[in-house]
């Protein structure tokens, strides 16, 4: 593998990552075709929620790409994602379109796991590569990337309502063919490059991040307004296609940064442009990890001599803030505290997301796509804002990032109680609040895991944390919400079969009360975690910017 030394800034990879992250949010499309799948397949709500569990398991089972991201180049990881999405969504399309009749339920369950597992491969490749390319701005980068994932539901909703005319079968076909196309078009740009070692508070770096954040905010507002206008005014086909073109243009906005840098930035080091070095993927990965961690490697002989002379004291095990092996992190209380907080926050939120269409129908909402667009936009705001706000306060006040998980889970408790009240006027408010808080959990967990346990095995740590999502979906959605919904529907319409709809606040009231209790526990645990790791953040950000601790002590 050949890398041009000194000539490949990380910004072009970040711009391409925006497209890949939108594609990686395909699991959020489940509410768009869930009702059609329920009708065509003739399954009850519990069967549908178990499909939602398959959706979440596939999306978040990323241990395999987490291991391979340190051994394979990003393009190969993206290639696997392309194959998975083509096969998985292709099978779902065959079933929902009735092209092939009689596909067993268990085959569809596995197919949906395969389809959404492409998101895990896409997200791991993008996030690990860009976190290493921007080692000094982890919170901001995580917020931007996770923000585009949050926007993906609104992007797909715009495509679903405007271009595909509310056709679930066309949407599944679009996912089957569109995601591989994005993978193959972007794999050249998403690659390890010279890490950005500029501080985020430098004027140029700050302007670039601000422009990217602003572009994503404009895109989010644009998508929300477009969806509302289409629902309220019933826009013509020509206007709808024009709005779709505007969305397409805004998705290209982050590319303005590398284009500007290519056209106007002067070459910093003469003679470095045409120098080619042959490096293996493993050597590139080790270089990026070493650069991002500010670690200087010496020869084995020098280290042994220094240890013998007492100049270096070799550490037996890493401290929090240094690079951990995955097995070393598993025995740390902070690792499991972070996992539990994330599990309770995101696991409860994904229960609402998977059942959002049925929640809207139960509340008497005719068009549930507005609910999904609202949740998507607020999810994006939470992801982008959570990354930016936590980055600001961790640099200015050395405030541990999990404090924001504490505050947002308090708001999530309030949101679930509003849902449980069954007051129609609070449906959109509670959905918006939940979307924001749900997004914050993602953008805070990602940099927290990298700061506590390092970037060396970040892919594994990150994907293990993500298992909290399908675990919560299985417990809270598959076992709890689906059972209560079907029981209430059977009480309302006895003898009408299994695929009937439930109406009224009792369909999900008990579920929301349980979720409120779970987030109350999550609030307590995140407060404990914040207190425990405050000394770590005081050490890492004592100078106002990230400072990686040395793995050895030199006298």
Is residue 135 within 8 A of residue 291, CB to CB? The reply is yes
pLDDT of residue 270: 46
What pLDDT shows up at residue 363? 85
The pLDDT, as a whole number, for residue 521 is: 97
* Lookup: tokens for 451: 């700061």
Neighbouring C-beta atoms of residue 360, cutoff 10 Å: 21
DSSP per-residue string spanning 342-406: HHHHHHHHHHHHHTHHHHHHHTT-S-THHHHHHHHHHHHHHHHHHHHHHHHHHHHS---THHHHH
pLDDT higher than threshold 90 for residue 129? no
- CA-CA distance, 196 to 329, in Å (whole number)? 27
- Quick: pLDDT tens for 5-14: 334 568 888 8
Residue 441 has pLDDT above 90, yes or no: yes
Kindly report the pTM of this predicted structure: 0.74
Mean of pLDDT over the chain: 81
The pLDDT, as a whole number, for residue 420 is 92
Average pLDDT score over residue span 478-490: 86
Collect all residues with Cβ–Cβ distance below 8 Å to 225 and sequence separation of at least 6. none
Q: H or E stretch including 277? A: strand 276-278
Mean pLDDT computed over 73-94: 93
How confident is the model over 141-198, as pLDDT tens digits? 877 887 888 788 788 888 888 788 888 899 999 999 999 999 999 888 888 877 665 5
Average pLDDT over residues 287-299: 45
Q: Among candidates 368, 369, 361, which has minimal Cα distance to 492?
A: 361
């Amino acid at each position: 593998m050949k890398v041009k030394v000194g000539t490949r800034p990380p910004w072009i990879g970040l711009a391409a990552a925006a497209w890949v992250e939108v594609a990686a949010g395909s699991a959020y499309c489940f509410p768009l075709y869930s009702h059609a799948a329920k009708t065509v397949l003739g399954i009850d709500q519990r069967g549908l929620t178990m499909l939602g569990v398959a959706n979440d398991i596939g999306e978040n089972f990323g241990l395999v790409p987490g291991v391979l991201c340190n051994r394979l180049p990003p393009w190969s990881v993206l290639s696997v994602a392309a194959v998975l999405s083509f096969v998985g969504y292709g099978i779902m399309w065959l079933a929902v379109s009735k092209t092939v009749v009689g596909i067993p339920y268990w085959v569809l369950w596995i197919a949906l796991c395969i389809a959404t597992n492409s998101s895990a491969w896409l997200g791991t490749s993008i996030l690990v590569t860009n976190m290493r390319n921007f080692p000094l701005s982890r919170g901001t980068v995580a917020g931007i990337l996770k923000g585009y994932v949050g926007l993906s539901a609104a992007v797909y909703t715009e495509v679903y309502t405007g271009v595909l005319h509310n056709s679930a079968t066309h949407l599944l076909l679009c996912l089957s063919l569109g995601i591989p196309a994005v993978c193959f078009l972007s794999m050249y740009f998403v690659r390890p490059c010279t890490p950005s070692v500029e501080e985020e508070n430098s004027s140029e770096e700050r302007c670039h991040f601000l422009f990217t954040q602003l572009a994503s905010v404009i895109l989010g507002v644009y998508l929300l307004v477009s969806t509302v206008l289409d629902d309220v005014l019933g826009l013509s086909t020509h206007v709808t296609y024009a709005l779709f073109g505007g969305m397409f243009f805004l998705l290209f906005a982050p590319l303005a940064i590398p284009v500007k840098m290519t056209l106007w930035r002067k070459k910093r080091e003469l003679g470095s442009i045409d120098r080619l070095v042959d490096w293996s993927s493993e050597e590139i990965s080790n270089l990026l990890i070493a650069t991002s961690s500010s670690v200087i490697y010496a020869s084995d002989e020098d280290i042994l001599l220094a240890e013998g002379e007492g100049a270096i004291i070799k550490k037996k095990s890493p401290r929090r803030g240094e690079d951990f092996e995955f097995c070393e992190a598993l025995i740390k209380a902070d690792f499991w505290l972070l996992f539990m907080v994330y599990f309770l926050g995101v696991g409860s939120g994904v229960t609402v997301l998977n059942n959002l269409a049925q929640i809207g129908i139960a509340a008497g909402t005719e068009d549930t796509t507005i609910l999904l667009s609202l949740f998507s936009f607020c999810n994006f705001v939470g992801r982008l804002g959570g990354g930016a706000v936590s980055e600001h306060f961790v640099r200015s006040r050395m405030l541990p990032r999990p404090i924001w998980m504490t505050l947002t889970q308090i708001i999530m408790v309030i949101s679930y109680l509003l849902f449980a009240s069954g007051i129609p006027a609070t449906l959109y408010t509670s959905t918006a609040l939940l979307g924001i808080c749900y997004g914050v959990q993602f953008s805070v967990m990602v940099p927290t895991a990298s700061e506590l346990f390092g970037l060396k095995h970040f892919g594994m740590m990150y994907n293990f944390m993500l298992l909290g999502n399908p675990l919560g979906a299985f417990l809270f959605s598959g076992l709890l919400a689906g059972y209560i919904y079907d029981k209430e529907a059977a009480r309302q319409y006895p003898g009408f079969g299994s695929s009937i709809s439930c109406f009224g606040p009792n369909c999900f009231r008990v579920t929301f009360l349980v979720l409120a209790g779970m987030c109350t526990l999550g609030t307590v645990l995140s407060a404990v975690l914040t207190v425990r790791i405050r000394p770590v953040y005081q050490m890492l950000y004592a100078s106002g910017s990230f400072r990686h601790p040395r793995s050895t002590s030199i006298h």
